[in-house]
Amino acid sequence: MIRAIAAAAACLLLAGVTGEPGQNPQNPPSALQPFRTGVDIVQVDVSVLDGDRHPVRGLTARDFTVIEDGEARPIVAFSAVDLPSSASPAAPWMRDVSPDVVSNAGPQEGRLVVILMDRTIRPQFQKLGREVAHAAVDALGPGDLAAVIYSGPGVPQNFTADRKLLRAAIERPFITLGDGDMGNPGECYCGTCTLEAITHAANLLRGVTQRRKSLLFIGDYVGIVNWGYNPPIVVDCTSTIKDARDKLTRAVQAANLTLHAFDPRGLEVRGLDASTRSVNPVADSVALRSGLRLRLDALRGLTDITDGRAVVNTNGPGESMPAVMSETSSYYVLGFQSADAAGAGGAHKIDVKVNRRGVRVQSRRGHGSVVDAPPGSPGTAEPASALADVVKDLLPRTGLEIAANAIPFAPRGTAKAEVIVAVGVREPRNQDSQAAALPPEPESVEIFTAAYDREGQNVEFVRQTLDVTAQAAANGLRYDALAKLHLAPGRYEIRVAVAHRRTNRLGSVYTYVDVPDFAKDGPWLSGVVLAGPSTRLATPADVVADLSPVVPTSERDFPGTGTFTAFVRVYRGGEDAGTITVHARIIDAASQTVFDHTAKLEVADVARERGAEVRLDLPLDRAKPGEYLLTIDAARGVKQTARRDVRFAVR
């Protein structure tokens, strides 16, 4: 029981969330829709590295041979992927501040990086281990997503591009083994928690075929017991560890998940010094050196499974992160016609060869069956009642372009805050026969909005069936909707799924919200409501009318005409004394201030539940085209502050 809980905690959010209590997560579908040419096409993402582990670019389909079950198969689809670099932007805020609105319309090509903080990181080595994890976040590119998981008790972070969330997960406390403790077999039998966590992550990532996938293991050792001169554990773990490693090997090879290991101990030379008391110094010194060798060999053995890197015995393991990440900066996506065209299923072996000497080829080693068209892709009908299952996918679906943001307001008469979720759906013009412009009359759309706590449990959801009339937007048509959730203080993942009945298209998007404890000593800020020149809602405006005088939108790209409106509520919390200073500022891509406004509020004049309103109306025709950052601070004294950041653009 304890072992199962520890293993589950490692990938709790990565495993997928439950749409409603009692439902189990499902494996994610393939996300490679534009590449598909038929249901018997199997997709394989391939990295080709030279002798120095640099990506080999410029290859064509003729340079590859795909062998399935010993027979060469025709390559019928091919693309070369070169990811944009993570070069420093013009202004630091463009790197450090994540958008408050999350869209599923981002790049579909990029890396998935799993950062595994292992239970074997000793307390004195956690600082260096965290430095390695932060180096991984620094190396992420514009289209990359990362997740943070633990092989022992810890609160994981699901896949996100938000570096602030990733860094917070890295810095959160997590339980590790004490110095000299090899682990209680009852808590993690034979130390297999790590192997099980990696296997679980690989199985979940198996269905994603367009993105390159890496798992960065940060820990002391893996899959061994009784190493060094520690007292032996009276358990024969040989067969248990072998079984776990065999399962791990099959899982990571099928998922094409590359394993890299980083030793957080730094430079280490095992031996006895003058201060060490020993009955047999020679034997004990040999045992120490043997233990070190065994520990490092175990880390290398883990990475050898997928031809990854083992960064060991160095005081700067994080310095190798740019080189590790660069290995997947360029890769290839192949589509070959499977011999299993009838879809009979079963396991099939894959071997990808390249007509270049001295290169390393990293690709999946097999596939379980024919890759079927993913649910929600064009031409695939799925009833909207299944939207609760759609949000259980590992990654969002892209059949519809959706953007969403969550705006918390203080509770009124209850312990739970009111969180408004603004959803924007865009229908591109003439993308294909089913995505033609919507007719002017209302059409039926179903929206499922759900909140999940840090344990991945659904705490509330809202279903809506709406008649929408789209309005003209840049490069297509757009409609907006609002949903209201009631949430206690804490961090939540908000998942939204939308189904358009006429086109049978599905889409989903995942975002996060931090709900403050508004009852505690403030000041506090609600989320920022942004509204452009016009917003057409599919839901009645009274959903938010008692909270905000302006209608929120998830739109963050505004034309250079009309008026830009930002609205926020300021809450006091605590005692009725003092002054709250509200400072609003807008800076441009060159970090130059283009707007600055300060207001002072007496705490006694701020209604406890309603707060005080702060509204900014700015003419857009005065703003130059480009990206901007709106920052609103509320301060009460020196230490008590609250802050909201909103990125937007003017075209």
Reported as a single tens digit per residue, the pLDDT across 536-574 is 666 666 778 888 888 888 989 888 888 888 999 999 877
Q: How many CA atoms lie within 13 A of 641 on its CB side?
A: 9
Q: Report CA-CA distances (Å) from 76 to 29, 68, 134, 340.
A: 21, 14, 40, 15
Please state which of the ranges 29-38, 57-66, 265-274, 448-457 shows the lowest mean pLDDT. Answer: 29-38
Instruction: Domain 556-651: give its CATH architecture.
Output: Sandwich (2.60)
Could you tell me the pLDDT band of residue 147, with boundaries at 50, 70 and 90? very high
**What value does the mean pLDDT take over residues 623-632?**
92
Please state which of the ranges 233-242, 312-321, 430-439, 483-492 shows the lowest mean pLDDT. Answer: 430-439
Reported as a single tens digit per residue, the pLDDT across 464-491 is 988 877 776 656 678 889 999 999 999 9
Picking from 494, 433, 444, 431, the residue whose alpha carbon sits closest to that of residue 470 is: 444
Residue carrying the six token digits 């820990």: 219
Reported as a single tens digit per residue, the pLDDT across 413-428 is 788 999 999 999 987 6
- Predicted TM-score (pTM) of the model is 0.83
Question: Which has more confidence, 190 or 159?
Answer: 159
Cβ-based neighbours of 97, under 8 Å, separated by 6 or more: 629, 645, 647
Residue 11 CA to its chain's centroid (Å): 12
Inter-axis angle of helices 2-10 and 193-205, nearest 10: 50
Reported as a single tens digit per residue, the pLDDT across 434-466 is 444 445 567 788 999 999 998 889 999 999 988
**What value does the mean pLDDT take over residues 34-57?**
79
Cβ neighbourhood burial of 270 (10 Å; 0-12, 13-18, 19+): middle
Reported as a single tens digit per residue, the pLDDT across 251-301 is 998 888 999 999 998 886 554 344 444 444 544 444 445 667 788 888 999
**What value does the mean pLDDT take over residues 37-47?**
75
**What value does the mean pLDDT take over residues 33-62?**
80
**What value does the mean pLDDT take over residues 637-649?**
87
Reported as a single tens digit per residue, the pLDDT across 373-388 is 333 333 333 344 588 8
Provide the residue ranges of all domains of the chain, joining segments of one domain with +: 2-15+26-87+108-330, 375-515, 556-651
Q: Is the peptide bond before 523 cis (omega within 30 degrees of 0)?
A: yes
Cβ neighbourhood burial of 282 (10 Å; 0-12, 13-18, 19+): exposed
Instruction: Domain 375-515: give its CATH architecture.
Output: Sandwich (2.60)
Could you tell me the pLDDT band of residue 576, with boundaries at 50, 70 and 90? low
Same fold, 375-515 and 556-651: yes
Q: How far apart are CA 341 and CA 137, in angstroms?
A: 41
Could you tell me the pLDDT band of residue 224, with boundaries at 50, 70 and 90? low
Bridge-partner residues for 102, per DSSP?
A: 404
CATH of domain 2-15+26-87+108-330: 3.40.50
Residue 241 pLDDT greater than 50, yes or no: yes
Could you tell me the pLDDT band of residue 628, with boundaries at 50, 70 and 90? very high
pLDDT value of position 190: 78
Picking from 73, 104, 5, the residue whose alpha carbon sits closest to that of residue 391 is: 104
